Amino acid sequence: MLSALGRAFRTPDLRRKLLFTAGIMAIFRLGSFVPVPGVSYQNVQQCLASAPESNDLLGLVNLFSGGALLQLSVFALGIMPYITASIITQLLTVVIPRFEDLKKEGQQGQAKLTQYTRYLTIALAVLQSSTYIAVARAGQLFPNCAAEIIPDDSVVTIVLMVITMTAGTGLIMWMGELITERGVGNGMSLLIFTSIAATFPGQLWSIGLSRGWGVLAVVVAVGLVIVALVVFVEQSQRRVPVQYAKRMVGRRMYGGTSTYIPIKVNMAGVIPVIFASSLLYLPALVAQFNDQSAGWVQWINANLVTGDTAIYIVVYILLIIFFTYFYVGITFNPDEVSDNIKRVGGFIPGVRAGRPTAEYLDYVLTRITLPGAIYLGFVALIPLVALVLVDATQNFPFGGTSILIVVGVGLETVKQIESQLQQRTYEGFLR
């Protein structure tokens, strides 16, 4: 990877793209520290110093914003509204026939779906910013801090804060698209990568201060092993061979080649972990706004709020397995793949074309998804184990959504850099 980066910086065109990407990522991080108008920056820093992880319900969103949410900065919402809007749009392609038709129209239809995603992102940003400001005004953002975060809670101030946070989300969305068009890699993914990677030094430093530098060295060593295992599984795939029959077109013969369909062990990516975490937050969120003396509220607070209970762990793993199969079933359609293979004159050796091919692909997909779902559950439980062993937070860097996103985005970006290098340094048979 380091050699690829070195060769990339020696290529002028690719060097400009890399520097442009790094500049956008730096601006994104800078905006995470600019406070929203109406917020007392000194009081926020005081509350962060006294209780930096006081609200576990907002931990996932704070992770994706690189810690900007708890600071109520301009980029406090981060990329989370766009992620939610993208997931909703993708799920609606299965439910709404109009969206399904747009998906099949190619580039023009995809541009229309992207436009719908932008509109939905802005709407979600307005909703989420209003919710977070209400939580901050009620004192629930830092329950253990008595400092007043929003001194002036007039209507004008609240509206200005909502507009500023929503505009910050729109700016993040625009910067992500700029990286995709003029930089290297997927812009949105790289901004998420930046947000999560920015929390790594602080997490490791807190572990070193609380448990000692020897424990920190062990954590780093174990983290490197986890990263290696995650890279191994993320690169693992089942290759289903496909043979194309020979056919005559005029005086030329086409076909006769063989290829394969790559079915990854983890086709769902990090989406099942996000879905499961979000769904587990809902009972605790409902219980927070009800009578704390009620029996069902006490049961939820005792079993479904913290990750050190057996019920929480079992429910978490079951939700991850369910959402893994659910998301893979939506994104990979065996019938559609079978029709595409049959249309171009291909077949899987030993399997008849048409319906038997679709059943075979579904058979392979069902069985390879199970180890992928178990793998996601194992990685998602690492922060919960670290929470008990080394007194870390639920945003422990070497596990859960953080390590899956960082490794996945890193691998994809390096692949794109290498592919662009091959295009620019291609050597023929004659030198």
Check pLDDT > 80 for residue 304. Answer: no
Q: Which SS3 state, helix, strand or coil, does residue 150 take? A: coil
Residues 118 and 183 in one domain: yes
* Domain membership flag for residue 420: no
Asked whether 63 and 55 are in contact (CB, 8 A), the reply is no
Asked whether 403 and 227 are in contact (CB, 8 A), the reply is yes
* Residue 166 neighbours by CB distance under 10 Å: 22
Question: What is the predicted pLDDT for the residue at 256?
Answer: 64
| Structural domain ending residue among the three candidates 151, 169, 198 | 198
- Residue-wise pLDDT tens digits, 111-129: 888 898 999 999 999 988 8
* Cα gap 292→294, rounded to integer Å: 6
pTM for the model stands at 0.77
Residues 27 and 52 in one domain: yes
Look up residue 36 and give its DSSP letter.
Answer: P
- Residue 70 CA to its chain's centroid (Å): 19
Domain range enclosing 138 = 1-198
Check pLDDT > 80 for residue 424. Answer: no
- Residue 403 CA to its chain's centroid (Å): 10
Question: What is the predicted pLDDT for the residue at 45?
Answer: 76
Residues 215 and 329 in one domain: yes
Question: What is the predicted pLDDT for the residue at 47?
Answer: 75
* Domain membership flag for residue 428: no
Q: What CATH code is carried by the domain that includes residue 244?
A: 1.10.3370.10
Residues 84 and 108 in one domain: yes
| Structural domain ending residue among the three candidates 182, 198, 214 | 198
Mean pLDDT of the chain: 80
Query: Which residue type occupies 316?
Result: Y
* Domain membership flag for residue 427: no
* Domain membership flag for residue 424: no
Q: Tell me what the mean pLDDT of segment 212-222 comes to.
A: 82
Residues 212 and 333 in one domain: yes
Q: What is the DSSP string of 279-343?
A: HHHHHHHHHHTS-TTSHHHHHHHHHSSSTTSHHHHHHHHHHHHHHHHHHHHHH--HHHHHHHHHH
Residues 150 and 25 in one domain: yes
**Domain total in the chain:** 2
Question: What is the predicted pLDDT for the residue at 122?
Answer: 92
- Residue-wise pLDDT tens digits, 150-206: 887 788 888 998 999 999 999 999 998 899 888 888 888 888 888 888 888 877 887
Question: What is the predicted pLDDT for the residue at 13?
Answer: 83
Q: Tell me what the mean pLDDT of segment 331-358 comes to.
A: 85
- Residue-wise pLDDT tens digits, 362-418: 999 999 999 999 998 888 888 777 766 666 655 566 767 788 888 888 888 888 888
Residues 194 and 217 in one domain: no
Give the residue from 423, 421, 425 showing the smallest Cα distance to 15.
Answer: 421
- Residue-wise pLDDT tens digits, 259-279: 888 888 888 887 788 778 777
* Domain membership flag for residue 408: no
Check pLDDT > 80 for residue 282. Answer: no
| Structural domain ending residue among the three candidates 161, 177, 198 | 198
Residues 48 and 11 in one domain: yes
Check pLDDT > 60 for residue 52. Answer: no
Residues 207 and 181 in one domain: no
Give the residue from 347, 374, 381, 379 showing the smallest Cα distance to 361.
Answer: 347
Residues 206 and 192 in one domain: no
Confidence category of residue 55, pLDDT binned at 50, 70, 90: very low
Q: State what percent of residues in the chain have pLDDT above 90.
A: 7
Q: Tell me what the mean pLDDT of segment 270-293 comes to.
A: 75
Residues 204 and 162 in one domain: no
Query: Which residue type occupies 149?
Result: I
Residues 163 and 206 in one domain: no
Give the residue from 315, 319, 223 showing the smallest Cα distance to 268.
Answer: 319
Look up residue 241 and give its DSSP letter.
Answer: E
* Domain membership flag for residue 409: no
* Residue 107 neighbours by CB distance under 10 Å: 6
Check pLDDT > 60 for residue 427. Answer: no
Confidence category of residue 220, pLDDT binned at 50, 70, 90: confident
* Residue 333 neighbours by CB distance under 10 Å: 15
Question: What is the predicted pLDDT for the residue at 60?
Answer: 61
* Domain membership flag for residue 416: no
Please give the helix or strand (H or E) that residue 263 lies within, else none: strand 258-264
